[in-house]
């Protein structure tokens, strides 16, 4: 049986929903990107959904956002002639990565995160269980298998964030060659998961769900 503290972090069921200006689909805000029009009539991404002005919402998906730019959907939504740069999808990806790095750095400084293979494995066996595993996308498969086997040994089925490369994780933590980390449940982990879900639309395999069946190393 899974520990309640180790349950994958879920979105708030009461999260507000918005309509994508491209697909017309109504989605939770956590699966959308908000845009506003700047005073110079350029379209500006508002990932924190805090800038003033009427928001225009687009699904957090590179293909959908490219359609919004190519078909001038922002001008239609704004009911004015506005300019959306062709590189907006690339900018969104970079901004999401920066936000996630900020979340990770803050989590480490606040004690909500453990770093390094040995420390993560120890945390999995401790009383205070992590709620989220962080694995570098370009880390060695053997190391990941060992971490997942340690989680399996504790009866844990954790969510895994694996969309950031080791170099990007290293920037977040201010140290080289970061491959493994784990976050304890809380607001920082929740914010990180939400941005990871949005980044998933701009990168392949940003985040998996629960660890699922975990191959345990043959001890013979």
- Residue 186 has φ and ψ, to the nearest 5°, of 160, 180
Q: What tens digit of pLDDT does each residue of 95-115 get?
A: 999 999 999 999 999 999 999
Query: What is the model's pLDDT at position 6?
Result: 37
Residues 33-84 have pLDDT tens digits of 999 999 999 999 999 999 999 999 999 999 999 999 999 999 999 999 999 9
**Looking at residue 218, what is its pLDDT?**
37
CB 165 within 8 A of CB 138: yes
pLDDT tens-digit map of 137-189: 999 999 999 999 999 999 998 999 999 999 999 999 999 999 999 999 999 99
Residue with tokens 């998933």: 200
Residue 205 has pLDDT above 60, yes or no: no
Q: pLDDT value at position 203?
A: 84
Q: Which two tokens stand for residue 172?
A: 């977040």
Kindly indicate the confidence band of residue 213, based on its pLDDT and cuts at 50, 70 and 90. Answer: very low
Taking the CB of residue 115, how many other CB atoms lie within 10 A of it? 20
Q: Which tens digits make up the pLDDT trace of 129-143?
A: 999 999 999 999 999
Evaluate whether 104 touches 135 at the Cβ level (below 8 Å).
no
- CA torsion angle 4 9 14 20 (round to 10): -160
State the pLDDT at residue 219. Answer: 34
Cβ-based burial of 35 (10 A; exposed 0-12, middle 13-18, buried ≥19): buried
For 83, 168, 214, 217, 219, the CA distances from 145, given in Å and listed in that order, are: 47, 21, 8, 8, 14
Residue 204 confidence (pLDDT): 59
The model's pTM: 0.82
């Amino acid at each position: 049986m899974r520990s309640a503290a180790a349950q994958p972090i879920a979105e708030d069921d009461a999260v507000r929903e918005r309509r994508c200006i491209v697909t017309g689909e109504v989605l939770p805000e956590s699966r959308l990107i908000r845009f506003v029009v700047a005073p110079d009539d350029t379209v500006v991404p508002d990932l924190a959904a805090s800038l003033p002005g009427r928001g225009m919402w687009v699904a957090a998906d590179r293909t959908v956002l490219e359609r919004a730019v190519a078909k001038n959907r922002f001008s239609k939504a704004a009911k004015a002639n506005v300019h959306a740069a062709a590189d907006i999808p690339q900018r969104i990806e970079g901004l999401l990565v920066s936000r996630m790095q900020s979340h990770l750095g803050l989590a480490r400084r606040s004690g909500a995160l453990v770093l390094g293979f040995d420390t993560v494995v120890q945390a999995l066996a401790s009383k205070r269980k992590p709620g989220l595993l962080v694995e570098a996308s370009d880390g060695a498969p053997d190391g990941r298998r060992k971490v997942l086997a340690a989680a399996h040994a504790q009866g844990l089925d954790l969510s895994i964030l694996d969309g950031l490369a080791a170099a990007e994780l290293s920037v977040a933590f201010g140290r080289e060659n970061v491959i493994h980390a784990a976050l304890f449940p809380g607001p920082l982990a929740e914010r990180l998961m939400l941005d990871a879900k949005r980044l998933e639309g701009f990168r392949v395999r940003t985040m998996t769900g629960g660890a699922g069946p975990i191959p345990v190393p043959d001890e013979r």
